[in-house]
Each structure stands twice: as structure tokens, then as C-alpha cells.
């Protein structure tokens, strides 16, 4: 812990007046520093009592004292209840990213397994439900199971649905235009409802059994299948009985292979926390329908600054909260804002009872929480605790190596950076397919890691296809043109900084690319010392790269095992990955959008289906000539010419 002042300076009269005028009502408060940055967000049952305590107590040389010394302004919002305060507090924490709050970042929604609803419709696909991976807002007309901790867990569940219940996974356009069974039918992963190999009634029974299994009624499903098999055997329907026998065998294998436990509450979240070295890890293990679906690791930020302040800010008798309890409370409060909360939580440490009660009120589900579980729940918790320890050890190891790499690069290039946390590197790469769909990427490295939120892609236009030098010139001008102008205005005293130049600009390429970058920086009046090219070595082998400088310095070979070169290669490879994925997406849009049969006048659903069936897809239609197109039923020679022109 850093040295902190023993006392806090006097606050301005306006701030103290605002504190004195607060009402004794529940609400949420925000503290701001003199620059307008949010320091802390807290909730209170009694705003006046809670906020006043910050300015009446002598916090000494603690972290809370350090925070209070920075407070320049206060904002509050009055709410009707503690539940509303909790909801608003954690929404604001996620939105404002205050320095002295423990913050869990979760940019991704959880995936679900979706079984499409069966509707009365003329379309064949609407009569046979489909099982699919899904991420997004749920709709009432479909059935959703989960959430699952990862895409892998959903895909495993879908494979299970195929093996045991042989449900279809194909998209509706494919399903509606099949004339014979696909490979999945041949390998016994689908019952081929597309070509009538199973009746709608029998398929609906399989769907119902699959849903019961996903809800945890595996044994009941097994018994139902056995009864149906015996019923078919009694009336000498041995073929149908054999199919059910195979289904029972597949389900039996699944039950033996997977962890399906006999517990009273089938939907449980297990939460384990580990804190070490100023970092924390929370493992969330999910059990749905009595099956352990997997787990996900969360690593909060601001743990070191927030510890101590959070415990002191709880309105109940819990000021002695351990660091682990503080982290776990923050996770529970923030995580279940947008994720459905199961009826049972198993925790590695106890959290505030009021928080659990508030969760129940907010979700409409009676939530119970235990931190000293027995039997199966204890085994689940021990597994989660082990995973939390391993994940945190991995994170600390990776962060240590990244910091060492950053330090090695700064020393190798003699970068005058006092705080390596603030070292900012931007790297550019160009990607295209023989001049088609040219894309440039810019990735950012700062605070010892890649900053994904600051990545940028640039579509390159108005150049000769395949001219990488022109593409690099365009992207550098677009990236730094306005920024260089803003920097000059700031230096002249005529404006305020709206961005920050990087400490190092990496370009993927040798002398040619560096020469282009030098011309751009000279034109913009920027320092040439910022530019470094990453030139591939002999045979383009990894580890033999050399660094090329725009300011006239000799090329540098850092060495195959150099930590500095490892960092340069990591950033360069990320720029290449980001550029090539953007290029492929753009290329696909160009090729697919140009070939949309739906946009061609005179080509309705029936004609489109016949074209796709005849030529095997949009690409096949695009490759066909006018005479070939005219051979399709319903396509006149004139319409064939229109289709050909639209696709070319």
C-alpha cells in the first residue's frame, strides 16, 4: 500500500453545503474529483447519515482518506427502496467505471440453447422444431435453456440433442429445399424430418423428451422411452421398438458420461473467489437441470483501490468484511443485474443477507445462499475454488511476463517512459485479396495488454488495387491527421488536447512501408522517432524479424529469445489478425450482397428455391450462364438475362 496523507485537506464550502442539505432518504451518491472524473459510487439507506460520515470522521492515512481528499463535487439520486438503490448503484458502476469501486466487466451476453417453437404453418420447417445456438434477447414463441457459461458448452448440448433425440439443426432455407437426407441422417444425428422419414407427431414427442431432459427429468425421460419401446414390441412393431432401444442406449451412455446429480434444487450457481497479489478471480460454475454445464472466470478491476472503502460503505453491521467477501458481494450485485438468478447460490464466503433479499425482490425469485454446503454442493464448491486458484495463478503469471516484455522493449528502444503502465503502442497492418476489399487495421497496446476497445478498422478506397504503400499512406493520414492538428493547437495555447499520440508506431513491413510512414509524419509535423517497421527475417521465419527506424538509425535485431521481440511479434500478429478478419468480412459482404436473389425483380420465393436447388446455392447461380438459368422451371430467357446481369 502506498504512503497516504495523515489528514485530508479542507473541502470547498459548496460541497459541504450540499452534504449538509442531503435528505434522510435511501439513494445513490457519486463523488467526483476536480477534473470531473468519477471517484466512487455508493448506495445508502440514509443519504444524509451515510455521506456525512465521510466528512466527519478522520480517516487518516487510509485509502478511504486518500479518496475523500480528492472529492470536489457530489451528486445524489433519491430512490424509493434499498432494492432500487442497489440496482441503480451497480448500473452506474458499470457505466461510469469509478476508480474506487470493484468493477466486473462483462461485455458478452450468455449463450443459450434454443428450440424453435412449433407453429401451424404451411412451411414444413415451422412444423419441425430446430435446436440451435443462440445469443441475444429471448422471444416467447421459442424455448430457451441455459444460460450456458460458454459457446463450447452450448455446442456440446446441441451434439447431445443430436445423438440422443436426433433433432434437426439445419437452417430453414436448407430444410425447406431438401430433396434427400443429408449426411447427419446417415450418421444417425438427425431423423430427417425434411424428407418425411419421421412423422410430425413422433418428432414432436422427441422434442418434448429433449426439453424434459434439459430441465433435469432424465430418469423420467428414460422410463417414458422404455414404456414406448415395450408398447411397440407388444404390437409387433419391431422397427420402431429398435429405434427406441437405440435412443435409450444413447441416453444411458450420456447419463453415465455426464455429471447428472440427484439434488433437490436443479438450478444452482456456485461462486468461488480467490484474492492474491492485488488481483482477484471469481469463478462462476453453472448447474442447470442437475447437470454441471461448465464455469467462467471473472477478473475484476480496481480491487486494490476499492478494498477497504467498500466494506466501510455497507449500511449494515458488516464493516469487518474480508477482501474476498467484498469482491464476491460486488460480483453478486453487478452480475445478476442482467442475468437471471437461479433459486440457489453456493458461495465460498458469506455475503450480506440484505443483498440476497434484494436479489429476491428484484428478480421475483426466492433466492437462497449458503457458504458452508454439504454433500454434492460441497464437491461443486471445492471444484470451483480449485479453478479460481488456478485461473488467478495463470493471470498473475501472464501479467508478470507482459510487464517484463514491456520493460524489455522500452529498454531496447531507449524509450523515455517513466511509467510503463502508460506506454502506448499502435500497430498498423494492411490486408486484401489480390486488391479486393482492402482493409487497414490499427491495434493498441497499453497498460501491459492489448486494448481491444480502442482497435480501429479503416476501409481503403480510391487507390490502385493491391498498392499496399498507398493504403498505408491513407490509413496513417486518417489516423493522425486531426490528432496532429489538435496537438499543434494545444502547444500553441489555442486549444485543448482531444487525444494522445502513441509513444511508438509499429508498421508491419520493412523499408518501403517505413518510408511511406516517414513521408506522412513529415507532412504532419510529427516526430520520426515514433516510427518502427517490423521487417520479416530470412525465409519469413518467426523470431528473425528486424526493426527498421524512420529516423535514420541502423536496423536492430533483438534476438530470437528476446522478450522485447516477443512483445513486438504479439502486437504485430494481433494487427494482422484484426486486419484479415475485417477484410474477410468485407469481402463476404461484397460477394454475398451482390448476389442476393431476393433483390432481383421477378424472383420470388418459389423461383429462388428452384434456382438454389438446381445450382446448389447463390455461388452456383452466379456461376451459371444465361442459357443454364433459362432451363430452370419458371425462369424465362428474359428473366435469366436479368438474373445474370444482377449477379455480375
pLDDT greater than 50 at residue 6: no
Residue 536: closest CA among 525, 545, 547, 526: 545
Nearest to 158 by CA among 108, 199, 225, 210: 210
pLDDT in tens, 486-540: 877 776 665 555 567 899 999 988 888 999 999 999 999 888 888 999 888 776 6
pLDDT over 50 (residue 60): yes
Virtual torsion, Cα 479, 480, 486, 490, nearest 10 deg: 140
DSSP character at residue 453? G
Distances (CA, A) of 528 to 123, 424, 498, 523, 552: 64, 16, 22, 11, 9
Instruction: For residue 20, give the nearest of 47, 59, 60 by alpha carbon.
Output: 47
For residue 589, pLDDT over 60 is answered with no
Share of the chain above pLDDT 70, in %: 85
Q: What is the C-alpha separation between 282 and 381, in angstroms, rounded?
A: 12
The SS3 assignment for 544 reads coil
| 3-state percent helix, strand, coil for the chain, nearest multiple of 5 | 50, 15, 35
Lowest mean pLDDT segment, chosen from 67-71, 87-91, 249-253? 249-253
CB 328, CB 271: distance < 8 Å: yes
Per-residue DSSP letter, 342: P
pLDDT confidence bin for 428, thresholds 50/70/90: very high
Which residue intervals of 336-467 are DSSP H helices? 353-363, 375-412
The C-alpha atoms of residue 160 and residue 484 are separated, in whole angstroms, by 57
Q: In angstroms, rounded to a whole number, what is the distance separating the alpha carbons of residues 321 and 349?
A: 10
Burial letters 218-236, b for 16+ CB under 10 A, else e? beebbebbeebbeebeeee
Measured between alpha carbons, how far is 51 from 29 in angstroms, rounded to an integer?
8
**Strands, sheet with 143-145, edge to edge from the N-terminal-most edge strand:** 131-134, 112-115, 143-145
Task: State the pLDDT at residue 272.
Answer: 94
Residue in 508, 504, 615 with CA at minimum distance from that of residue 551: 504
HSE-up (13 A, CA, CB side) for residue 552: 1
pLDDT at 95: 83
Closest to 431 measured CA to CA, from 582, 327, 284, 565: 582
With beta carbons less than 8 A apart as the criterion, state whether 194 and 181 touch: yes
Angstrom distances, CA of residue 119 to CA of 123, 141, 169, 452:
9, 9, 17, 42
Which pLDDT belongs to residue 315?
44
- Find the distance separating the first CA and the last CA of the chain, reported in whole Å: 67
In this structure, what C-alpha cell is assigned to residue 471?
A: 493504403
**Does the structure show a pLDDT above 90 at 424?**
yes
pLDDT > 70? residue 235: yes
Average pLDDT of the segment spanning 126-145: 83
CB proximity list for 283: less than 8 A, separation 6 or greater: 270, 271, 272, 273, 295, 296, 297, 298, 384, 385, 387, 388, 391
**Is residue 233 pLDDT above 60, yes or no?**
yes
- Model confidence band, residue 592 (pLDDT cutoffs 50, 70, 90): very low
Please, which pLDDT band fits residue 273 given cuts at 50, 70 and 90? very high
Residue 317 has pLDDT above 50, yes or no: no
pLDDT at residue 595, as a whole number? 46
∠ Cα 211 217 221 (to 5°)? 80
Domains and their CATH numbers in the chain: 13-96 (3.40.1440.10), 112-257 (no CATH), 268-393 (3.30.420), 420-591 (3.30.420.340), 594-647 (1.10.150.20)
pLDDT at residue 485, as a whole number: 82
CB distance 611 to 621 below 8 Å: yes
Q: Which of 557-566, 594-603, 613-622 has the highest mean pLDDT?
A: 557-566
pLDDT of res. 516: 92
Show the cell assigned to 277: 497479489
CA 365 to chain centre: 27
**CA-to-CA distance for 228 and 235, rounded, in angstroms?**
11
Q: Please report, rounded to a whole number, the percentage of residues in the chain having pLDDT higher than 90.
A: 12
Which residues have CB under 8 Å from 69's CB, separation 6+? 5, 8, 9
For the chain, what is the total number of helices (H) and then of strands (E)? 23, 18
For residue 430, give the H/E element and its range: strand 425-433
Contact 148, 110 (CB under 8 A): yes
Please check the confidence at residue 177 and state whether its pLDDT lies above 70: yes
Average pLDDT, the chain: 81
Q: In 269-352, which ranges are continuous DSSP H helix?
A: 303-306, 309-312, 323-335
C-alpha cell at 221: 425421460
Query: What pLDDT sits at residue 314?
Result: 46
Segment 274-278 shows an average pLDDT of 85
pLDDT grade for 254, boundaries at 50, 70 and 90: low
Nearest by Cα to 571 from 427, 446, 451: 427
- DSSP code of residue 421: G
3-state secondary structure of 309: helix
Instruction: Enumerate residues 6+ apart whose C-beta is below 8 A from 176.
Output: 123, 124, 125, 194, 609
Contact (CB, 8 A) for 214 and 157? yes
Question: DSSP assignment of 102-132, as one string?
Answer: -B----SPPPEEEEPPP---SSHHHHS-BEE
Q: Give the Cα separation of 470 and 460 in Å (integer).
A: 9
* Residues 535, 511 contacting (CB under 8 angstroms): yes
Sheet containing strand 279-288, strands side by side: 291-298, 279-288, 268-276, 344-347, 368-370
- Return all residues near 114 (Cβ < 8 A) that are at least 6 apart: 131, 132, 133, 134, 142, 143, 144, 145
564: three-class secondary structure by DSSP: helix
* pLDDT of 346 above 90: yes
Amino acid at each position: 500500500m502506498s504512503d497516504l496523507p495523515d489528514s485530508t485537506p479542507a473541502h470547498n464550502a459548496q460541497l459541504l453545503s450540499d452534504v449538509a442539505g442531503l435528505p434522510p432518504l435511501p439513494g445513490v451518491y457519486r463523488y467526483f474529483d476536480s477534473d470531473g472524473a468519477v471517484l466512487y459510487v455508493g448506495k445508502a439507506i440514509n443519504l444524509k447519515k451515510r455521506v456525512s460520515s465521510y466528512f466527519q470522521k478522520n480517516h487518516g492515512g487510509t485509502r478511504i482518506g486518500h479518496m475523500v481528499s480528492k472529492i470536489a463535487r457530489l451528486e445524489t439520486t433519491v430512490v424509493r427502496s434499498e432494492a432500487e438503490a442497489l440496482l441503480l448503484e451497480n448500473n452506474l458502476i458499470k457505466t461510469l467505471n469509478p476508480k474506487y469501486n470493484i468493477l466486473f466487466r462483462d461485455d458478452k451476453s450468455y449463450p443459450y440453447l434454443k428450440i424453435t417453437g412449433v407453429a401451424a404453418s404451411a412451411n414444413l420447417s415451422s412444423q419441425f422444431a430446430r435446436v440451435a445456438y443462440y445469443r441475444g434477447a429471448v422471444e416467447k414463441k421459442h424455448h430457451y435453456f441455459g444460460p450456458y457459461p460458454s459457446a463450447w458448452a452450448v455446442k456440446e448440448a446441441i451434439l447431445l440433442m443430436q445423438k440422443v433425440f436426433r433433432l434437426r439443426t439445419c437452417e430453414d432455407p436448407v430444410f425447406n429445399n431438401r430433396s434427400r437426407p443429408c449426411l447427419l441422417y446417415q450418421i444417425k444425428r438427425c431423423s430427417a424430418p425434411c424428407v418425411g422419414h419421421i412423422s410430425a407427431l413422433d418428432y414432436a414427442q422427441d422434442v418434448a423428451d429433449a426439453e424434459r431432459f434439459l430441465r433435469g427429468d432424465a430418469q423420467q425421460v428414460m422410463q417414458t422411452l422404455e414404456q414406448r419401446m415395450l408398447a411397440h414390441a407388444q404390437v409387433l412393431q419391431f422397427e420402431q421398438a429398435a429405434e427406441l432401444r437405440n435412443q435409450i442406449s444413447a441416453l444411458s451412455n450420456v447419463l453415465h458420461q455426464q455429471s447428472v446429480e440427484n439434488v433437490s434444487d436443479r438450478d444452482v450457481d456456485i461462486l468461488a473467489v480467490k484474492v492474491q497479489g492485488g488481483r482477484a478471480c471469481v469463478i462462476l460454475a453453472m448447474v442447470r437441470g442437475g447437470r454441471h454445464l461448465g464455469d467462467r472466470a471473472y477478473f475484476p478491476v480496481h480491487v486494490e483501490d476499492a478494498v477497504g472503502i467498500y466494506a466501510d460503505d455497507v449500511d449494515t453491521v458488516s464493516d469487518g468484511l474480508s477482501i474476498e467477501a467484498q469482491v464476491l458481494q460486488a460480483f453478486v450485485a453487478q452480475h445478476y443485474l442482467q442475468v437471471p438468478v437461479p433459486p440457489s447460490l453456493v458461495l465460498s464466503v458469506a455475503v450480506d443477507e440484505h443483498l440476497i433479499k434484494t436479489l429476491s425482490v428484484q428478480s421475483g425469485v426466492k433466492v437462497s445462499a449458503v457458504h458452508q454446503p454439504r454433500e454434492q454442493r460441497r464437491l461443486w464448491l471445492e471444484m470451483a475454488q480449485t479453478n479460481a486458484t488456478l485461473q488467478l495463478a495463470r493471470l498473475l503469471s501472464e501479467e508478470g511476463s507482459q510487464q517484463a516484455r514491456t520493460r524489455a522493449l522500452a529498454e531496447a528502444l531507449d524509450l523515455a517512459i517513466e511509467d510503463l503502465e502508460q506506454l502506448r503502442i499502435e500497430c498498423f497492418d494492411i490486408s486484401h485479396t489480390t486488391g479486393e476489399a482492402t482493409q487497414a487495421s490499427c491495434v493498441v497496446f497499453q497498460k501491459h495488454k492489448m486494448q481491444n476497445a480502442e482497435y480501429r478498422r479503416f476501409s481503403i478506397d480510391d487507390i490502385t488495387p493491391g498498392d499496399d504503400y498507398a493504403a498505408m499512406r491513407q490509413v496513417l493520414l486518417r489516423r493522425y491527421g486531426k490528432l496532429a492538428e489538435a496537438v499543434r493547437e494545444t502547444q500553441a495555447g489555442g486549444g485543448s488536447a482531444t487525444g494522445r499520440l502513441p509513444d511508438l508506431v509499429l508498421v508491419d513491413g520493412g523499408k518501403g512501408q517505413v518510408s511511406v510512414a516517414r513521408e506522412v509524419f513529415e507532412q504532419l509535423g510529427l516526430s520520426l522517432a515514433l516510427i518502427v517497421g517490423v521487417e520479416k527475417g530470412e525465409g519469413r521465419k518467426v523470431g528473425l524479424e528486424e526493426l527498421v527506424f524512420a529516423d535514420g538509425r541502423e536496423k536492430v535485431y533483438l534476438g530470437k529469445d528476446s522478450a522485447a521481440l516477443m512483445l513486438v511479434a504479439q502486437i504485430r500478429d494481433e494487427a494482422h489478425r484484426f486486419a484479415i478478419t475485417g477484410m474477410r468480412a468485407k469481402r463476404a459482404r461484397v460477394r454475398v450482397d451482390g448476389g442476393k436473389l431476393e433483390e432481383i425483380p421477378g424472383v420470388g420465393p418459389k423461383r429462388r428455391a428452384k434456382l438454389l436447388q438446381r445450382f446448389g446455392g447463390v455461388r452456383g447461380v452466379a456461376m451459371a450462364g444465361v442459357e443454364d438459368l433459362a432451363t430452370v422451371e419458371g425462369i424465362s430467357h428474359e428473366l435469366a438475362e436479368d438474373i445474370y446481369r444482377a449477379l455480375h
